[in-house]
Structure 1
Amino acid sequence: MGLDGTQGQRAIGVDRPAELYKASAVPTQRSGPFDLAGWAGEPRPEAAPGVYRYGYRPADPARTKDAGVPAGPLLLRAALNLLVGWFAYIYGVNLVFALAGLFGLLNGLSQTAAVIVLLLVNAAVVAGVVKLFGRMGRWPEVWRRYVAPLLARTVTHEQPDELQDAAQPTGPADPWHQLRYGGADLAARHLDTEHVGDVDYVRIQRAWETVLADPELLPAFTEQIAERGAAACAHPSEARDLPGRSARHDLLTRQVRLGTAQDVIKNPPAHRTAGFALDPTLLGTSLLAVGPAGTGKTAHLARPVAEALCLQALAGTACAVVIGSADADLGPDEWYDVVIAPGDPQSAYGLDLFGAAKDVDEAAARLADALLPDELAARTESARTALQQIVGPFHAAFRRYPGVRELRALLGGDPDSFVALGKTLREAELLEVYQPDLQHRVRQHGRADDPGALLADRLALLDRPAFAGCFPGAEPGKPAFAMRALDHPLRVRVKLPERSHPEAARMLSRLVTGQFVQATAVREERALFAGLVVDDASAALDAHTVRGLQRMRGANAGAVLLLRTLVDLPEALRAPLFGAVGCRMAFPGIAPWDGKLFSEAWGTHLVQETAITHAPDTSGGLLRRAARVGRKALSGTTAQTESVTTRDVERHRWSPSELAHALPTGHAVISLSTVAGEQVPPLLVDLRS
């Protein structure tokens, strides 16, 4: 791999590779100075999955519990324990010496030995008193809240850090320590004079790791730094940052912060009040988010994740494919290297309908899956066969895939197209090999159950003047993006024409998603994380895609799928989809039947349930009974006994009713699973903080 992360290539899966990266659209760095040393040296301690590690300091469970005690009761309890502890100390020392004198243990001691014994006894009693009464009186919390700040102001004249005993910064004080003492001292000194951003730093560090793996690249690395400074080893687009980035990112841990886990009993203690973040170890298991329109799925999830993947692509650690309608807020076009907008004459790139597979039959099968709607899924197998019987001979004859119009004519049984195809195969001496396929297609033409006619009708939705040049064919058109380009740190945005051509948009969404799943399974460069974001996945999912989601875990790839409701999916896909993804996210306002699937997937846990029962009091003799009768006559109430029963029972972590009606606005419940199999139970997260 080259220092720019492109295996020495800048041509990525299009007919005109030089046009793929637009060097003229280079965004500027973020305004304001960037404190590289402070950012790199900020503590990033190990934490549970989903915790934003940048600046994170693990909370002491005892301190967290005591922090909620009001000041009045805290000080009163501390003073009472101090008073009792003082008397316990005085009488405790006297008691020890009285017992020692009773048994004659102090007889014959010299003056020096007696002083030592006195000091030891006093120290032991003080330690016992402090441990016992200090814990009951919460003296450490009093010290943290009141004594330590007072001492800091009077002695050092500085405000103390409330988390002074937490983890200290673990990063290097010198950001370029590894370069400076690893043989690239000149490069480090040159970078000291440059304004380096977080993207630059991670990109250069990644290039340095490549140099460590292959020392022969050291001269080229040093030369790049000397010539280009902080822009060395840049992404092929020459972009060093994203314009208008708004989410909080930590590119060293590859995390994007989405909100704050709430301090509620349903959340695990390790996550309460901590920042919530996603990273490739979580996204690698894929994430399914369900919520009605307007609940913030795009603004609080899809856009930040797309932004994170684009930044990681600029740093050379990821590639991104983002699918959504043309008006979806998934970032400006400047964020992306390739923007595919079928139906928009201003779009510079088209889409290769067969661009995910090297095998012809596999590529044809994926296109057939994308063309058929959900209600015709039963005819998928015959449609695959029909498309393979056309695409295979055509590719063998012309050494390219057919265009939309050519494919539509052959599937529709156009005689002239079949004659031309047969003639070309005969000239290439391949007619005998593919003649059975062509003859079968001819026999099927005109029958009521001919899948070719169905596929031709579906292709007619793409054979429109608005889509002219968007899909490669015999006529020259726009450079076509092929999904096999995921071996490179590429940023792709697919804008679907949902308003003008809704059914065509559904087909393209299903096609691009299926191609992504297909391409990630066979790509060679798996060091790059391949991320897919689908803003509305209701049309993008089929049985093949759902099965492929689990295979992506081992291919360093993952998907973020957004749905308005699970009812948009065929019923046969809902349960398999929940089993295929590792992270599940519910937004406020979901329907109870959607909440039922979440509740079942998250399972149950043991909770303590207290039952209080009341019964009339019939105890006692004549006098007590007479008193109860008088009380009832005067107050109108009957004396009762109270019985309290506590037991452990299993309850849903989140019930369908809670998910449907109890989630506050701007919040979401999300469960997590890492690629390694570590799981986090559902978290209530405030996405606005």
Structure 2
Amino acid sequence: MDSDGTQEARGTHANPVPRSRSAAVPPMPSTPPKPDGSAFLSWLRTPRPEAAPGVWRFGHVPRPEQEPEVIPARQLFSGALIAFLVGWLVWSLLWNGYLGGWWVLPLTAMTDSWTDPHSMSRVVLSYAWYVIVALTIMVSVGRLGRWSEIWRRYLAPGLRRLTTPQPGEAPPPPQEDPAQWPQLRAAGAVDAAERLAAEAGAGLMRDVDHARISRAWQGVRSGRHSLATFTGAVLQDGAAACLHPSGERDLPTRLARHDLLTGQVRIGTTADDPRNPYTYRGTGLALGPELLGTSLLAVGPAGSGKTGTVVRPLAESLCLHALAGRAAVVVVGAAGAGIGPADAYDVVVRIGNPESVYDLDLYGGTTDPDEAAAVLAEALVGDLADPHPGNDSRRSTTVLAQLLGPFRAVHDRFPSVPELRQLLDGAPAPLAALRTALEGSGQESLLRELDARERQLAHPGDVAGVLADRVALLDRPAFAGFFDTSGQSRPFSLKALDHPVRVRIDLPARGHADASRILARLVLAQFTASVAVREDRSLFACLVLDDATGVITPEAVRGIQRLRSGNAGAVLTLRTLDDVPRPLRGPLLGATGCRMALSGLTPWDGQDFAEVWGKEWTEARDVTDRQIIAETPAGKALHAVRRVITGKAPTARAVTVRQVERERWSASELAHALPPGHAVLSLTSVRGEHAPPLLVDLRE
């Protein structure tokens, strides 16, 4: 293709042909083109009917619950043609009198008694009778030839495409047009509605603006904001009103398909497979806050598409919701895991990277020593609680509280990582300095806590040694500038989830795998503790954890169960369920409402999914072929000829239909029958609606 020289590299032709400047560069228009909002208006006016959980509602055409009987096109058209020819033959025989004149006897009996044989009324009645007979024949052969099926499958869709106006050609009435903001007009904010409608038509509004202003209007309806303040902001800034604190109105890039009007992000297409319910087959599959509010667990080996097809689209969607003021999102993954560019987030915490602007608050922003001790104990020894009874979280919480309380009372802050390690190791100098400071302040209760800690140091089963070893994983030169408690850094705390914030936390997985798992457990524990005490629960909060290996603990499972009541959810991915202790696999699958098994799953992982998805009643057909034995000489001869022609003995087929209970998806099917790029996904909404396990193509 000739690019006209605008995309060719210099010096790549042996004999380059000189080209004029006018041919290479088109002339500049005298006036810049006017912005056009037709694309946005078309998106806004596209119907989004109510649908089953997980169905991509944008432009969705509902399907019947049961699959209709599908007749092959060749058989359908041949039957319709034969039926038409039969009807034509019957009409010809009647018209030409080959079947007698009995069919005109009702007409003769009706007209001879009260009409003149040569009158116009008799002629009209005659033709009317002929039409009635012809229509009767046509209806009869039409039913016989299934003409209605041809109309429904082939003619009606084409006619509908021709007669349906294209988007933007025939807008709905103003009282029904979402682009005219009828809810604002009904409340008396006509000027604001006019301003927004004008900017939408001029191409100055985008989907994030519409979602953000709609969210602000919900605040007016709920009483959080006044109508005058909202109207003034819209009249002043138009589509840029009520901006996110970052000032951004969109993400730098989008890789997935989003519909902010319904809050969905499309992650794939439901396969046209008999194992899927007919109403889902061939429809787009999407996720939104109403499904993520029950949490999502995705399990699949490395390379199965967990990050690229699940985590990245969901993180992108939640960031868009945050820009619209609807959500707060925390995305946690290894550095370079591909969970979105830094420009898409408000806060990026790069633990172990000296160039990181933000730090991570080790104590979650709390000032309560007991709360800080509980969260920190879960992060440090949560994965060791079950295998080692002496290292349970309750004892670890007690040990940490015995040290954090006195230290904060003396220094008005919590200890840094090196200081905490020394206290847990039982170093004499730090404990003596802490005791001296407490004695001077006269806090007897905290002195008793410190006395108890010193007495327990001599016991062989003291858990402080395990805690010190775990804290030592964070006391490394790579983390020297992090977890600062002196106030000289910019620590991020998950207490900020009361605001629509976008956070990305990069874990130092390379070379610090154990420390990364501790930090991942810390973030999960802080998240579940923070969302439980939020004041504004209308804001959806979500934690996206790209790799939950070593993170699932008994307390973590209990925290995930509580997220649903706090308008929050978690997205967790695992390479295998073997990364979760055996006693916790069932509770984890039960705590998450959305479960995804990706291709490449192992049979023992598939068995856990098969058990949680249960069984269903299905129709089983048993076909039996019984050989026919001929008893007469003629029958034996006929069977011999048939055997020579077909090569098979004559048989009679018997079909037995019965109801049996079978697994929705067996472990063998999950392990060996899933094509690459596919997954089986079951869904549960926060309202309690369920979708059975669906085979989904994540590549479409």
What range describes the TM-score normalised by the shorter chain of this pair? 0.7 to 0.9
Larger displacement relative to structure 2 (274-283 or 545-554) = 545-554
Identify the residue that residue 401 of structure 1 maps to in structure 2. Answer: 414
Where 2:473 maps in the other structure, the secondary structure is coil
Q: Is the 8 A contact 2:66 2:278 kept in 1?
A: no
Please give the per-residue CA displacement for 1:389-437, whole angstroms capped at 9, x wherever unaligned: 2223333443332222222121111222222322333333322x12332
- Structure 2 distance, partners of 1:574, 1:656, is 16
Q: 1:139 is matched by which residue type in structure 2?
A: W
- Structure 2 distance, partners of 1:77, 1:253, is 45
Change (3 A) 1:148 1:601: closer
Please give the per-residue CA displacement for 1:500-531, whole angstroms capped at 9, x wherever unaligned: 21110010011101211222222111101111
Where 2:455 maps in the other structure, the secondary structure is helix
Where 1:680 maps in the other structure, the secondary structure is strand
Pair 1:183-2:188 in alignment? yes
Q: How do residues 275-286 of structure 1 correspond to structure 2 at under 5 angstroms?
A: 275-286=284-295
Larger displacement relative to structure 2 (308-317 or 555-564) = 555-564
Identify the residue that residue 23 of structure 2 maps to in structure 1. Answer: none
Q: Is the 8 A contact 2:383 2:552 kept in 1?
A: no
Larger displacement relative to structure 2 (178-187 or 539-548) = 178-187
Pair 1:331-2:336 in alignment? no
- Structure 2 distance, partners of 1:529, 1:422, is 45
- Structure 1 segments unaligned to the other structure (5+ residues): 1-30, 153-157
Q: How do residues 35-74 of structure 1 correspond to structure 2 at under 5 angstroms?
A: 35-59=39-63, 66=70, 69-70=72-73, 72-74=74-76
- Structure 2 distance, partners of 1:186, 1:330, is 42
2:608 aligns with one of 581, 597, 600: 597
**TM-fit CA distance, 1:441:** 1.2
1:653 aligns with one of 624, 640, 664: 664
Q: 1:231 is matched by which residue type in structure 2?
A: A
Where 2:216 maps in the other structure, the secondary structure is helix
Q: Is the 8 A contact 1:42 1:169 kept in 2?
A: no
1:484 aligns with one of 495, 508, 515: 495
Pair 1:426-2:443 in alignment? no
Q: 2:608 is matched by which residue type in structure 1?
A: L
Please give the per-residue CA displacement for 1:330-363, whole angstroms capped at 9, x wherever unaligned: 1001111111111011111111122165643233
**TM-fit CA distance, 1:107:** 9.8
Q: Is the 8 A contact 2:294 2:684 kept in 1?
A: yes
- Structure 2 distance, partners of 1:169, 1:428, is 74
TM-score after normalising by structure 1: 0.84
**TM-fit CA distance, 1:98:** 6.3
Change (3 A) 1:613 1:39: closer
Q: 1:237 is matched by which residue type in structure 2?
A: S
- Structure 1 distance, partners of 2:60, 2:646, is 59
Q: How do residues 417-566 of structure 1 correspond to structure 2 at under 5 angstroms?
A: 417-431=430-444, 433-473=445-485, 475-566=486-577
Please give the per-residue CA displacement for 1:237-273, whole angstroms capped at 9, x wherever unaligned: 1111001111111111100011111212111121111
Where 2:226 maps in the other structure, the secondary structure is helix
Pair 1:142-2:146 in alignment? no
Identify the residue that residue 29 of structure 2 maps to in structure 1. Answer: none
Change (3 A) 1:518 1:635: closer
Identify the residue that residue 665 of structure 1 maps to in structure 2. Answer: 676
1:579 aligns with one of 571, 590, 594: 590
**TM-fit CA distance, 1:88:** 7.2
**TM-fit CA distance, 1:41:** 1.2
- Structure 1 distance, partners of 2:102, 2:166, is 45
Q: 1:469 is matched by which residue type in structure 2?
A: G
Q: How do residues 63-102 of structure 1 correspond to structure 2 at under 5 angstroms?
A: 66=70, 69-70=72-73, 72-85=74-87
CA RMSD for the aligned pairs? 3.8
- Structure 1 distance, partners of 2:256, 2:493, is 30
**TM-fit CA distance, 1:132:** 5.8
- Structure 2 distance, partners of 1:635, 1:527, is 72
Q: 2:427 is matched by which residue type in structure 1?
A: D
Identify the residue that residue 400 of structure 2 maps to in structure 1. Answer: 387
Pair 1:172-2:181 in alignment? no
Change (3 A) 1:101 1:130: closer
Where 2:338 maps in the other structure, the secondary structure is coil
- Structure 2 distance, partners of 1:38, 1:137, is 40
**TM-fit CA distance, 1:56:** 1.2
Identify the residue that residue 8 of structure 1 maps to in structure 2. Answer: none
Change (3 A) 1:115 1:401: farther
Q: 1:51 is matched by which residue type in structure 2?
A: V
Q: 2:181 is matched by which residue type in structure 1?
A: W
Identify the residue that residue 245 of structure 1 maps to in structure 2. Answer: 254
% identical aligned pairs: 46
- Structure 2 distance, partners of 1:187, 1:634, is 83
Change (3 A) 1:683 1:62: closer
- Structure 2 segments unaligned to the other structure (5+ residues): 1-34
**TM-fit CA distance, 1:91:** 9.7
**TM-fit CA distance, 1:290:** 0.7
- Structure 2 distance, partners of 1:329, 1:353, is 25
Please give the per-residue CA displacement for 1:557-597, whole angstroms capped at 9, x wherever unaligned: 11111111101111111111111111111111100111111
Identify the residue that residue 10 of structure 2 maps to in structure 1. Answer: none
- Structure 2 distance, partners of 1:560, 1:612, is 46
Q: How do residues 253-272 of structure 1 correspond to structure 2 at under 5 angstroms?
A: 253-272=262-281
Q: Is the 8 A contact 1:531 1:557 kept in 2?
A: yes
Q: Is the 8 A contact 2:423 2:431 kept in 1?
A: yes
**TM-fit CA distance, 1:659:** 1.1
Could you say which structure has the larger radius of gyration?
A: 2
Where 1:316 maps in the other structure, the secondary structure is coil
Q: Is the 8 A contact 1:282 1:675 kept in 2?
A: yes
Change (3 A) 1:639 1:548: same
Identify the residue that residue 24 of structure 1 maps to in structure 2. Answer: none
- Structure 2 distance, partners of 1:290, 1:397, is 47
Larger displacement relative to structure 2 (637-646 or 41-50) = 637-646
Q: 2:45 is matched by which residue type in structure 1?
A: G
**TM-fit CA distance, 1:217:** 2.2
Q: Is the 8 A contact 1:259 1:688 kept in 2?
A: yes
**TM-fit CA distance, 1:556:** 0.9
Where 2:679 maps in the other structure, the secondary structure is strand
Pair 1:349-2:358 in alignment? yes
Please give the per-residue CA displacement for 1:129-187, whole angstroms capped at 9, x wherever unaligned: 666654553323433566568879xxxxx8455999xxx97961534333345333333
Q: Is the 8 A contact 2:111 2:122 kept in 1?
A: no
Larger displacement relative to structure 2 (630-639 or 643-652) = 630-639
**TM-fit CA distance, 1:85:** 4.8
2:379 aligns with one of 352, 370, 373: 370
Change (3 A) 1:394 1:79: same
Q: 2:516 is matched by which residue type in structure 1?
A: A
Q: Is the 8 A contact 1:356 1:516 kept in 2?
A: no
Pair 1:360-2:369 in alignment? yes
Where 1:460 maps in the other structure, the secondary structure is helix
Q: Is the 8 A contact 2:598 2:680 kept in 1?
A: yes
Q: Is the 8 A contact 1:50 1:672 kept in 2?
A: yes
1:236 aligns with one of 218, 237, 245: 245
**TM-fit CA distance, 1:613:** 3.1
Change (3 A) 1:114 1:636: closer
Q: 2:227 is matched by which residue type in structure 1?
A: L
Identify the residue that residue 691 of structure 2 maps to in structure 1. Answer: 680
- Structure 1 distance, partners of 2:219, 2:581, is 46
